[in-house]
Amino acid sequence: MNIMQMMKQAQNIQAKLKTTQEELAAMEIIGEAAGGAVKVTCDGQGKFKSIKLTAEAINPDSPESVDNDTIEMLELIISNAINDASAKASKEMETRMKAVTGGINIPGLNF
């Protein structure tokens, strides 16, 4: 295989990787717990998007005592905590990967 063929193949792989990453980012994957009382949505890359709670998840013995404002507030603070942890983890990964690579940007590592 000559160098031109190798470069063409590398370009094709890079284009396919980009398309696949875009498709994964556009996906919505829902995980459920407690019979659907808690639903978490992530994209195909595993990035958190949202959480939905039911009144039964908050107070199974008396779900009618839980109002919508309480549900929305809990969804918001849980989402904020997940996003905060995710941002911190991404920053840590970036720092460590740059230390390993000496700051060289390696395609596909996305940090």
pLDDT in tens, 55-107: 999 999 999 999 999 999 999 999 999 999 999 999 998 889 888 877 777 66
pLDDT of residue 109: 61
DSSP 109: S
Q: How confident is the model at residue 2 (pLDDT cuts 50, 70, 90)?
A: confident
pLDDT of residue 111: 54
Largest separation between any pair of C-alpha atoms in the chain: 71
Tell me: the pLDDT tens digits for 39-60?
999 999 999 999 999 999 999 9
Rounded Cα gap, residues 101 and 49, in angstroms: 30
Rounded Cα gap, residues 111 and 105, in angstroms: 8
